[in-house]
């Protein structure tokens, strides 16, 4: 929307504004032939400067309708061509005729395209249409929001808002209209999500894990490698309570990197086993699945719990055997990668599914796991990429949430610094000192799918330079990248884990979950090419064992503004939630890693970053409303019920009674 009363001058307009209004006269109108086509040009002068108006279409009509000497309002965005400003296909109207201006100083602006404009659907033409439509609106329309809500938040009435969002009298009126429309948009989104959650809760059957038995208790009393943090205890309790209600659990577990989610997963899987069920854990990479397998086996040594791995790299015969054992119920915990969701993987009594590092899995993939049991298994989705609050509220409004907001004791925040090529000698010297002190170092290169070969070359060049600077036999170096065979990768990871190699040069395959407590230095090359959440993940690989840890972000010298901001954010904080918020602000929600496929709603007006208060308010209102009227039977909720019924093909109460 623009304020027509705010006329800009040609000698001093704001080039950042998408749409400007000028007031002046036209002169020197002429057609110019270029090739087979023609264009019409005219000079437009407002006393402070001149701009060239250009038309490629409708030339004859424009020539006839515009008069020199008449004062016009010209609207559009001047664009610089060479040394002169031009406006192509400007909106134009006589200024004098504009008695409307007093009544309607604001003029709506609509998104349109060059093509649509050429066909006569410029923003002014759309405005004429909306003007007609708005006039057709009945003065009173049925409300779409419950009365107590509109009263509490002083929301503009619906009919009023629909009119005023196009034709406000004051700026404030327009803001109120937009506010109301945003509220409605968010409110209905929350209603959809929360209603489906609450119906699932009241109607879906889940397995009842009524007891906490021998396996859990044995492990808890005798085998815990360290005392649980308060947050771990609380989350285990939340999950346990959820599992015995008889409803299917759908829970999101957020916890920063290194907060100890794996142990929570294991403890709660033991509850499933105590109740006669099988559990499975799905990890995003084979390295991580291997690591979980080894970790679980170590922790469970001597306990009668069978843990197996199903992953792409197994021989066909091994896979067949594992699948058979899973189907026969001989495996208690099956760890795996995507291989777990293949159709021929069957369980005898799958009761619990844990999904590690959720942001790598799409909604449909998760749904396939759901379907592996007649009674749907309980689901725990774990993520270390903290999800900004508003995003969690919108995206996961249908999941319950647990948060581990405490790191195990003794962790020191990783010290992060920024370097460029000129610091490389210093960096290598620092790495040598750390290695001399018995520590290990990661050096990570980005790998971006489109240019895999180029990236691999970066990695290999880096590896060469490191082998030259860290010669054998004093220094042992591992290398891991995506094009190596899984066994070779696992072998190199193992050597590094056992401390046999000092430096691990790799692509981001080690990004997620890899746990080598003795590694204290993380060097990230070409750090400007990583997103914030990835940098945070990578940094989370160090600082796990106590002792000081370091993250060095190496970049080229000249950085784009956002890249610089990302690096600065990383150097300034280690708080995953702060980083997630910064990421959301820098990139916008549509662009967050892995979120595209996760079904982020496409709001027309609401913006989950800027409208956080509205997101919170609508969530709370819908929650209270569903608490008091879970089936939306109250007459004042009839319109909400109708909306849900339409969406979900539910019976409408009106029809039943
Ligand atoms: P993440 O939440 O990132 O998956 P992990 O589960 O891999 O974290 O745990 C990170 C490290 O912290 C592991 O080495 C793990 O053994 C250790 N750890 C987990 N819980 C505790 C605890 N309560 N006290 C001390 N160390 C812990
Ligand atoms: Mg983990």
Report pLDDT for 654: 39
Ligand 1 atom 24, closest CA: 408
The predicted pLDDT at position 596 comes to: 46
Residues 10, 48 contacting (CB under 8 angstroms): yes
Q: How confident is residue 449, by pLDDT bands cut at 50, 70 and 90?
A: low
pLDDT for the residue numbered 405: 86
Cα separation, 400 vs 604, whole angstroms: 26
**Mean pLDDT throughout 367-371?**
69
Closest by Cα among 216, 218, 369, 397 to 282: 369
415-573: CATH topology? Rossmann fold (3.40.50)
- pLDDT tens readout for residues 155-214: 999 988 988 888 888 888 889 999 999 999 999 988 988 887 777 767 667 889 999 999
* Ligand 1 atom 23, closest CA: 228
In the predicted model, is pLDDT for residue 223 greater than 50? Answer: yes
Q: Is 23 in the pocket of ligand 1 (CB under 6 A)?
A: no
Nearest CA to ligand 1 atom 5: 260
Rounded distance from Cα 258 to ligand 2 centre (Å): 7
Architecture of domain 214-404: 3-Layer(aba) Sandwich (3.40)
Measure 628 CA to ligand 1 centroid, in angstroms. 41
Pocket test for ligand 1, best of 233, 234, 260 (most atoms within 8 A of CB): 260
Average pLDDT over residues 504-509: 87
Instruction: Supply the residue whose CA is at minimum distance from atom 6 of ligand 1.
Output: 260
For the ranges 69-73, 128-132, 387-391, 496-500, the one whose mean pLDDT is highest:
496-500
372 C-beta closer than 6 A to ligand 1: no
Average pLDDT over residues 302-311: 95
272 alpha carbon – ligand 2 mean position (Å): 20
Ligand 1 pocket residue status of 513, Cβ below 6 Å: yes
> Is the confidence at residue 309, as pLDDT, over 50?
yes
Q: Which ligand is nearest to the CA of 253?
A: 1
229 lines ligand 1 (CB under 6 A): yes
CA atoms within 13 A on the CB side of 14: 8
Q: Give the Cα-Cα-Cα angle 270, 403, 513 (nearest 5 degrees).
A: 70
Which of the pair, 453 or 355, is modelled with greater confidence? 355
What pLDDT is attached to residue 244? Answer: 92
CA–CA dist 478, 60 (Å, integer): 73
What integer best gives the mean pLDDT of the chain? 85
Could you read off the pLDDT of 127-145 as tens digits, one per residue? 888 888 888 888 778 889 9
Are 531 and 593 in contact by the 8 Å Cβ rule? The answer is yes
Does any ligand 1 atom lie closer than 6 A to the CB of residue 406? no
What percent of the chain has pLDDT above 70?
A: 88
- Topology alike, domains 214-404 and 415-573: yes
Nearest CA among 179, 143, 174, 199 for reference residue 618:
179
Q: Which residue has the higher pLDDT, 1 or 191?
A: 191
Question: Average pLDDT in the 623-652 region?
Answer: 84
Given the CA of residue 229, which atom of ligand 1 is nearest to it? 23
Which tens digit of pLDDT belongs to each residue from 321-344? 999 999 999 999 999 988 888 888
pLDDT at 470 over 80: yes
pLDDT digits (tens, 9 = 90+) for 240-272: 999 998 888 888 898 887 889 999 999 999 999
pLDDT, position 566? 93
Q: Given CA atoms 61, 63, 67, 70 in this order, what sign does their dihedral have?
A: positive
Is pLDDT of 113 > 80? no
28 phi/psi in degrees, rounded to 5:
55, 50
Please tell me if the CB atom of residue 262 comes closer than 6 angstroms to any atom of ligand 1. Answer: yes
Query: How far away, in angstroms, is 570 Cα from ligand 1 center?
Result: 22
Counts of helices then strands in the chain (DSSP H, E): 23, 22
Whether residue 390 is predicted with pLDDT greater than 90 in this model: the reply is no
The atom number, within ligand 1, closest to the CA of 261 reads 2
9 vs 156, higher pLDDT: 156
Q: Which ligand is nearest to the CA of 283?
A: 2
| Cβ 462 under 6 angstroms from ligand 1 | no
Give 476 or 66, the one with higher predicted confidence: 476
pLDDT at 48 over 90: no
The pLDDT score that the predictor gives to residue 434 is 96
Counting ligands in written order, the one closest to the CA of 357 is: 2
- The answer, yes or no, to whether residue 539 has pLDDT greater than 50, is yes
- With bands split at pLDDT 50, 70 and 90, how would you rate the model's confidence at 363? low
**Which H or E run contains 3?**
strand 2-3
Residue of the CA atom closest to atom 1 of ligand 1: 258
11 has pLDDT over 70: yes
Range with top average pLDDT, 201-210, 283-292, 641-650? 283-292
Range in 15-19, 73-77, 204-208, 389-393 the model is least confident about: 389-393
Q: Residue 656: its pLDDT value, please?
A: 34
Q: Kindly state if the Cβ of 544 falls inside 6 Å of ligand 1.
A: yes
Contacts of 316 (CB under 8 A, 6+ apart): none
- For position 278, what pLDDT does the model report? 96
Cα 259 to ligand 1 centroid, rounded to whole Å: 6
Share of the chain above pLDDT 90, in %: 40
Query: Of 604, 586, 490, 494, whose CA–CA distance to 535 is shortest?
Result: 586
CATH: 2.40.50.140, 2.60.40.10, 1.10.10.10, 1.20.1260.10. Which one for 2-135? 2.40.50.140
Confidence band for 475, pLDDT divided at 50, 70 and 90: very high
- CA gap 58, 624 in Å, rounded: 57
Q: Are strands 84-88 and 79-81 parallel, antiparallel or unpaired?
A: antiparallel
- Protein residue with least CA distance to atom 18, ligand 1: 260
Greater pLDDT, 451 or 344: 344
pLDDT in tens, 588-598: 655 554 444 44
Q: Can you give the residue ranges of every domain in the chain?
A: 2-135, 143-203+604-623+640-649, 214-404, 415-573
| pLDDT of residue 532 exceeding 50 | yes
Residue closest via CA to ligand 1's atom 26 equals 408
Check residues 49 and 592 and name the one with the higher pLDDT.
49
Residue nearest to atom 17 of ligand 1 (CA): 260
In this predicted structure, the answer to whether residue 530 has a pLDDT above a threshold of 90 is no
pLDDT (0 to 100) of residue 653: 44
**What separation in Å is there between the alpha carbon of 495 and the centre of ligand 2?**
20
Q: Which residue has the higher pLDDT, 160 or 412?
A: 160
Q: Please say if the pLDDT value at position 551 is more than 70.
A: yes
Q: Which among 379, 376, 403 has a CA at the least distance from the CA of 389?
A: 403
Task: Return the DSSP state at 204.
Answer: -
To test ligand 1's pocket by mutation, which of 267, 295, 408 has the most ligand atoms within 8 angstroms of CB? 408
Phi, psi for 402 (deg, rounded to 5): -125, 145
258 within ligand 1 shell (Cβ under 6 A):
yes
Contacts of 65 (CB under 8 A, 6+ apart): none
What is the average per-residue pLDDT within 11-31? 84
226 Cβ closer than 6 Å to some ligand 1 atom:
yes
The residue whose C-alpha atom lies closest to atom 11 belonging to ligand 1 is: 258
Phi, psi of 350 (to 5 degrees): -75, 120
For residue 655, pLDDT over 60 is answered with: no
Output 312 or 317, whichever has higher pLDDT: 317
The pLDDT of residue 604 is above 70 = yes
pLDDT confidence of residue 261: 94
Residue 417: phi, psi to the nearest 5? -140, 165
What DSSP element (H or E) covers 279? Answer: strand 278-282
Instruction: List the single range of 46-55, 442-451, 493-502, 587-596 with lowest mean pLDDT.
Output: 587-596
On the question of pLDDT at 60 being above 80, the answer is: yes
Question: Does the Cβ of 260 fall within 6 Å of ligand 1?
Answer: yes
The tokens for 285 are 């990479």
């Amino acid at each position: 929307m623009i304020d027509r009363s705010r006329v800009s001058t040609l000698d001093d307009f704001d080039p950042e504004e998408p749409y400007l209004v000028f007031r002046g006269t036209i002169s020197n109108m002429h057609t110019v032939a270029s090739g087979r086509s023609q264009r019409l040009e005219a000079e437009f002068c407002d006393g402070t400067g001149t701009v060239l108006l250009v038309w490629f279409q409708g030339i004859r009509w424009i020539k006839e309708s515009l008069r020199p000497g008449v004062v016009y309002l010209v609207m559009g965005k001047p664009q610089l061509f060479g040394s002169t400003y031009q406006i192509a296909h400007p909106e134009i109207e006589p200024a004098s005729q504009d008695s409307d201006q007093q009544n309607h100083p604001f003029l709506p602006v609509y998104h349109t395209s060059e093509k649509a404009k050429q066909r006569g659907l410029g923003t002014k033409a759309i405005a004429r249409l909306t003007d007609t439509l708005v006039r057709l609106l009945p003065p009173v329309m049925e409300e779409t929001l419950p009365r107590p809500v509109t009263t509490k938040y002083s929301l503009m009435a619906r009919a009023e808002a629909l009119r005023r969002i196009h034709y406000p009298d004051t700026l404030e009126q327009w803001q109120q209209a937009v506010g109301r429309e945003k509220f409605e948009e968010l409110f209905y989104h929350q209603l959809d999500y929360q209603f489906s959650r609450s119906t699932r809760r009241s109607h879906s059957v889940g397995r009842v894990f009524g007891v906490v038995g021998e396996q859990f208790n044995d492990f808890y009393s005798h085998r815990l490698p360290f005392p649980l943090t308060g947050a771990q205890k609380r989350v285990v309790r939340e999950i346990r309570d959820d599992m015995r209600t008889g409803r299917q659990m759908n829970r999101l577990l957020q916890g920063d990197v290194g907060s100890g989610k794996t142990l929570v997963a294991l403890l709660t899987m033991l509850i499933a086993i105590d109740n006669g069920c099988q559990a499975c854990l799905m990890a995003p990479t084979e390295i991580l699945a291997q690591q979980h397998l080894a970790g679980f086996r170590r922790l469970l040594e001597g306990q009668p719990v069978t843990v197996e791995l199903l992953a792409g790299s197994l021989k066909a015969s091994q896979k067949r055997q594992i699948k058979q054992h899973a189907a026969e119920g001989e495996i208690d915990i099956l760890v795996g990668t995507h291989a777990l969701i293949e159709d021929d993987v069957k369980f005898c009594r799958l009761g619990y599914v844990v999904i590690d590092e959720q942001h790598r899995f799409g909604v449909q993939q998760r749904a396939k796991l759901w379907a592996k049991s007649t009674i749907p298994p309980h689901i725990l989705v774990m993520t270390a990429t903290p999800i900004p609050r508003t995003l969690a509220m919108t995206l996961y409004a249908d999941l319950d949430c647990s948060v581990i907001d405490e790191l195990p004791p003794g962790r020191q925040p990783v010290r992060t610094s920024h370097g460029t090529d000129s610091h490389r000698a210093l960096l290598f010297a620092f790495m040598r000192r750390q290695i001399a002190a018995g520590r290990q170092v990661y050096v990570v290169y980005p790998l971006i799918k489109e240019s895999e070969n180029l990236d691999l070359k970066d990695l290999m060049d880096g590896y060469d330079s490191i082998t030259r600077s860290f010669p054998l036999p004093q220094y042992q170096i591992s290398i891991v990248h995506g094009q190596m065979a899984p066994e070779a990768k696992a072998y190199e990871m193992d050597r590094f884990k056992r401390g046999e190699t000092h430096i691990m040069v790799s692509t981001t395959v080690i990004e997620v979950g890899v746990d080598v407590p003795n590694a204290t230095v993380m060097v990230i090359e070409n750090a400007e090419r990583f997103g914030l959440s990835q940098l945070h993940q990578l940094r989370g690989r160090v600082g796990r064992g106590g002792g000081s840890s370091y993250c060095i972000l190496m970049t080229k010298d000249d950085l784009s503004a956002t890249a610089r901001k990302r690096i600065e954010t990383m150097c300034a904080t280690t708080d995953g939630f702060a980083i997630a918020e910064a990421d959301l602000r820098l990139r916008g929600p549509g662009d967050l890693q892995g979120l595209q496929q996760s079904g982020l709603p496409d709001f027309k007006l609401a913006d989950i970053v800027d409208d956080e208060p509205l997101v919170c308010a609508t969530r709370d209102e819908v929650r209270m409303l569903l608490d008091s009227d879970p089936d939306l039977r109250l007459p004042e909720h009839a319109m909400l019920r109708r909306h849900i019924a339409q969406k979900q093909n539910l019976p409408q109460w009106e029809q039943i009674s």
